[in-house]
Amino acid sequence: MTFVPGPFWVVIPAAGSGVRFGGDRPKQYLPLAGRTVIEWAIRPFLARRDIDGIAVVLSPSDTHWQALDRLQDPVFTVKGGAERARSVLNGLLAVSERADPADWVLVHDAARPCLTDEDLDRLLAAVGPEDAGGLLAVPAEDTLKRAEGGLVESTVDRRSIWRALTPQMFRLGALIQALQAALASGATVTDESSAMEQAGARPRLVPGRGDNIKVTRPEDLPLAEFILAQAGLV
């Protein structure tokens, strides 16, 4: 793994309301080890010189971002949409006004605060110039069940199953086209890779750390703080 393409752009979709989490604010703005969750999510990218810009996609009704005025250039904000795929597309279109379609763009969850510099380096090095793109992922370790009506229907062979993480990395122009086509067709888009797959691409799976967690439940916050502390970041 030696190829490190560039320049890079980053899109952070942060327009979600975090309804499942509860609380008085979206989960990306919850305090975590002296910062907010989204600040930790952005941190690895701010440390790199080869990142040309970071588009943070916000809800039109967002009232919390303004408190993070310390996050300045290369960070800029974009108005989000009603769903994640639409917000990501809005971010990509904003990046396209500044970038070339052949540039690489990384999409990373605003509620995923434990991305390590090493995993980011690994992704950038592993996705080669001829690849359709790639994503950090972890091979499934748990026994997986397929269910119907709350009952086990069968056990899934986990040998070919991976758990998708972020960042996910693709050529800017190709990802815009894939998301536009998926949204126009009404297809389900659960992540950027799924849009690229529907367009016929086969993204590269890059093994990442299992502690690159997404904050989705209250108990995830102390776990994230522990992970950050173990990494020597707090």
- Distance CA(79)–CA(72), nearest Å, equals 17
Residue carrying structure tokens 């080890």: 33
Q: What is the C-alpha to C-alpha distance for residues 6 and 119, in angstroms, rounded to an integer?
A: 17
Over residues 154-177, the pLDDT tens digits come to: 999 999 999 999 999 999 999 999
Token digits for 103? 């540039």
Question: 70 pLDDT band (50/70/90 cuts)?
Answer: confident
Average pLDDT, the chain: 94
Residues 8-230, CATH architecture: Alpha-Beta Complex (3.90)
pLDDT at 1 over 70: no
The residue-averaged pLDDT of 34-38 equals 96
| Separation between Cα atoms, residue 203 and residue 166, nearest integer Å | 13
